[in-house]
Chains A and B, each alone.
Chain A
Amino acid sequence: MSDYLKKTDRYGKIWIWTAAFVVFMVPVIICVKYDAWPSITKVLEGLVGVAPIFWTVGIIEVITYTPMLGIGGTYLAFVTGNLTSLKAPSALTAMENAEVKSGTEEGEVISTIAIATSSIVTTLIIVIGVCVLTLIAPVLNSPTLAPAFDNILPALFGGLGVVYISKNWKLSIAPIVFMVALFLIVPSLAGSVGVLVPVGVIITLIAGRIMYKKGWI
């Protein structure tokens, strides 16, 4: 590992642990300031409703996205959030455009630049949006625009899919056929798409290993 990557790991750990502290302090400060301490039972009751799925997706996301995003990209993306809907696609698109491979130091640089840029732009758009919220809320909430905001992911993954599938079409067949069939048969799984990402990865890996051994790819 290069000196740059070692330092990125060290700085990344400092930033992410600080972020964990900052995030944790938000509810603490609210409780202290308003002297409002909800009972542990109530918090646990709420947590039980979401933690099993959130924690599972969280573990899966860390294992799946870390090799893709690189060290700096991972530490940044997991702090700034919106991983699937923004950070991962922006990193993949940037690496593709810059013709660098994920897992190399050039890939690490481009992925980090993309995720950092994306975080800054998102933060600024939200800041501007919050400042002029009363003006823009009726427009953004209009039923006319709702189909656009409801379909960000298909719009994003359509373009991204073409890029990756056209370059790896043999490897793409098995996971896409499986996923389309799965969601057609069990539509209720749509809410758990994050959990199904590793299933897609495993199917691609099995298909890839067979094709690689047979010399098809």
Chain B
Amino acid sequence: MDFSVNSTFLYGIAICVIIFVLAQSVFFLVRAYRRGKQLGMSTQKLRKTIISTSIFTIAPAISILVGLIALSKALGIPLPWIRMSVIGAITYEMPAAEAAVKAFGNTLADIITDPEVYAAIAWVMTLGIMPSIILPPILMKRINGGMLKIRQKDERWGDIFMTSLFLGMISAFLGVVFADIREGIEGWLPVFVLMVSAITMAVCGILIKKFKWKWLETYAMSFSILVALVFAVLIAPILGTVQ
């Protein structure tokens, strides 16, 4: 049978998977929204969450699309589309595809024409990410039970524990931007971008507090990301990071 990485059949599979993901998202969105209303949360607060998250998502989503385009050069559209919509992230999918194709002595430089190689890539991508989908239902009860015990024993410590989880994650991603600074001035780009985002957010915070610009709360994070990304585009040629 003729094989094409962009065949209608593969697009059909991709569309089915995308519909599944959308259905799950809508299901949980509707349930949570209704529960929020039952708990007495205002419609304004719930809608504000939806609007601000939608805007916040745009830039990272376009970056995911860029990842899809990068993968599509060898794998076509459908498989990367599936992988970037379910569980995946470009940081997983690209190395997985590279590892699989390497086993056949090939590279991702050209479009895959051998269905066996293509299937192997799909298997490695799928099996490589399985713990992330299998473990949540298995560990959920234990993790939540543990958190409940900590809170029941000492509520203040429970709050500090939760904040520590957030800060542990944030500190790792703040620290990693310094990894390339030894490479010279171009290695500072992520640090500068982080600082611009942080300063913009701080300015927004001041405007919200001092001038009571409550409306800005909805857009502050998205605005900080956007300003930082525009800054990255403008400063990169000066730092010599654009090829």
Check A147/B232 contact, CB under 8 A, given A30-B122, A62-B131.
yes
CB contacts (< 8 Å) of B163 on chain A: these are: 164, 168, 171, 204, 208
Q: Among A55, A153, A159, A204, point to the contact of B201 (Cβ < 8 A).
A: A159
The 0/1 profile, CB within 8 Å of A marked 1, for residues 165-190 of chain B is: 11111111111111111100000011
Q: How far does the alpha carbon of A108 sit from the alpha carbon of B135 in the complex, in Å?
A: 20
Q: Closest B-chain residue to A138, C-beta based?
A: B69
Contact B53 A147 (CB under 8 A): no
Give chain B interface residues in 106-144, CB to chain A under 8 Å.
114-124, 126-137, 139-141, 143-144
In the complex, residue of chain A having the shortest beta-carbon distance to the beta carbon of B156: A212
A151-192 interface mask toward B, CB cutoff 8 Å, 1 = contact, 0 = none? 111111111111111101001100110111111100101100
The answer to whether residues A66 and B143 also contact, given A144-B233, A147-B233, A155-B228 and a CB cut-off of 8 A, is yes
Cross-chain contact B13 with A26 (CB below 8 angstroms): yes
Question: Which residue of the partner chain, among A22, A35, A75, A147, contacts B242 with CB atoms under 8 Å?
Answer: A147
Contacts known (A4-B35, A98-B45, A113-B33); A151 close to B126, Cβ less than 8 A? no
Cα separation A4 to B197 with both chains bound (whole Å): 37
A48 to B120, CA, bound (A): 13
Bound-complex Cα distance A50 to B88 (A): 14
With beta carbons under 8 angstroms apart, the residue of A46, A118, A205 that contacts B103 is A46
Cβ-defined contact, A120 with B29, below 8 A = yes
Does B140 lie within 8 Å of A74, measured CB to CB? Answer: yes
What A residues does B207 contact at CB under 8 A? none
**Could you tell me if B99 and A49 are in contact, using CB atoms closer than 8 angstroms?**
yes
A190 touches B181 (CB 8 A): no
Please judge, given known A-B contacts A38-B120, A68-B162, A78-B136, whether A200 and B167 are in contact too, CB under 8 Å: yes
Q: Is the contact region of chain A dominated by helix, strand, or loop, or is it mixed?
A: helix
Nearest opposing residue in chain A for B226, CB measure: A155
**Complex Cα distance A49/B124, Å?**
10
Contact assessment for A125 and B170 in the assembled complex, using a CB-CB cutoff below 8 Å: no
Cβ-closest 8 pairs across A and B:
A179-B175, A158-B197, A201-B168, A49-B99, A46-B100, A36-B115, A200-B168, A175-B171
Is B174 a contact of A176 with CB atoms below 8 Å? yes
Interchain pairs with CB closer than 8 A, number: 544
CA distance A112 to B135 in the complex (A): 19
* Cα A143 to Cα B29 with chains together (Å): 37
- The answer to whether residues A160 and B170 also contact, given A29-B13, A147-B242, A189-B179 and a CB cut-off of 8 A, is yes
Interface size of A by Cβ–Cβ distance < 8 Å?
A: 152
The answer to whether A82 touches B126 (Cβ under 8 A) is no
Instruction: Find chain A residues with CB under 8 A from B236 CB.
Output: 146-147
Is B25 in contact with A38, judged by CB distance below 8 angstroms?
A: no
Assuming the contacts A62-B132, A144-B242, asked whether A50 and B1 have C-beta atoms less than 8 A apart, the reply is no
A80-B85 contact in complex given A36-B118, A151-B228, A176-B174, C-beta closer than 8 Å:
yes
CA gap between A18 and B205 in the complex, in Å: 42
Residue of B nearest to A77 (CB): B136
A152 near B133: Cβ-Cβ < 8 Å: no
Choose one: A13, A16, A154; the contact of B177 (CB below 8 Å): A154
Of B41, B46, B165, B197, chain A has the most CB atoms within 10 Å of the CB of: B165
Given contacts A149-B66, A205-B164, contact A154 B85 (CB under 8 A): no
Query: Cα distance A98–B17 when bound, in Å?
Result: 32
- The answer for the CA separation of A200 and B175 in the assembled complex, in Å, is 10
Q: Are B122 and A46 in contact (CB under 8 A)?
A: no
Tell me the complex Cα distance, A84–B28, Å.
20
A145 CA / B233 CA spacing, docked (Å): 6
